[in-house]
Structure 1
Amino acid sequence: MRMRSVLIFDGDCGFCTTSVGVVQRLVRPRCEAVAWQHADLASLGVTAERARYEALWVTSNGRVYGGAQAVAKILLSAGGLWSVAGAILALPPVRWVAHGVYRLVADHRGRLPGGTAVCAVPGEKSHRA
């Protein structure tokens, strides 16, 4: 069992890498952040297909959360006011809206600041944790 949660992100995507850096500096989540391209995905219980599709939060006991739920977990782990924001983000109907916003951003991340063609998300298949 791992001691810390793990944030898995797309290390080839400039937008994703920049976003994780900002989150680490400002929010300071209690986790290890690792690009999926350098992670032992099998030991984390996730597939490369899912890791390409969305950011993932893997708890120390192996539970996997993706997309907006992963963002909520990041905020919750930081404590303080960030955890209040994370708790709100995890509640329906906010969670449903957050999922839509997350998909909108993720599906168009190649067009956002720092994004490139490499950032394009393959397929439109939905993955829910």
Structure 2
Amino acid sequence: MQPESESPKPLLIYDGDCSLCLRCVDYGRSLTGDAVAYRAYQQVAGKLPQIPIERFRAAAQFVDRDGSISSGAEAIFRALSYAPGWKWLLWLYVHVPLFAGISERVYAWVARHRNGLSRLLGLH
């Protein structure tokens, strides 16, 4: 097993063409600092053939240090778990099925409407 310092950083992959996504990534980066790498799927999709392009287009993807992949709300909570004081969201997601279900539904709705929400919020 590699020492943690030699392990790759966890990676959150997002839609680089989405203004709302970019704003959320900026906020996430401000919380996690250098603990998490952030890349647009348009930059990395070809390097990660195990993730179909449809999954990148539908939701954020998170590749953890061990290579495990999560998507949607779970991806966001896993990324935020690397920020001081934010691990509780992942704990709720993992241990409270109702929280996980609601989180994924809200995430899916926002993801489907992200371009309209970007315009509505004046982020274009």
TM-score where L is the length of structure 2: 0.80
Matched residue SS, 1:81 = coil
Contact 1:6–1:59 (CA<8 Å) still a contact in 2? Answer: yes
Report the Cα offset of residue 114 of structure 1: 5.2
Report the Cα offset of residue 49 of structure 1: 1.5
Q: Which runs of 4+ in 1 moved over 6 A?
A: none
C-alpha RMSD over aligned residues: 2.1
Pair 1:85-2:89 in alignment? yes
Gap runs ≥5 in structure 1: 116-129
Structure 1 residues 57-66 or 33-42, which shifts more? 33-42
Which letter maps to 2:87?
S
Gap runs ≥5 in structure 2: none
Report matched runs for 1:1-129 at 5 Å: 3-25=8-30, 27-28=31-32, 30-43=35-48, 45-78=50-83, 80-91=84-95, 92-113=97-118
Take 1:65 and 1:41, find their aligned partners in 2: how far apart are those partners? 18
Take 2:56 and 2:63, find their aligned partners in 1: how far apart are those partners? 11
Q: Percent sequence identity over matched residues?
A: 27
> Aligned pair count?
113
Q: Give 1 or 2: higher helix fraction.
A: 2
Structure 1 pair 93/15, CA: closer, same or farther in 2 (3 Å)? same
Take 1:8 and 1:41, find their aligned partners in 2: how far apart are those partners? 12
Which entry has the higher C-alpha Rg, 1 or 2? Answer: 2
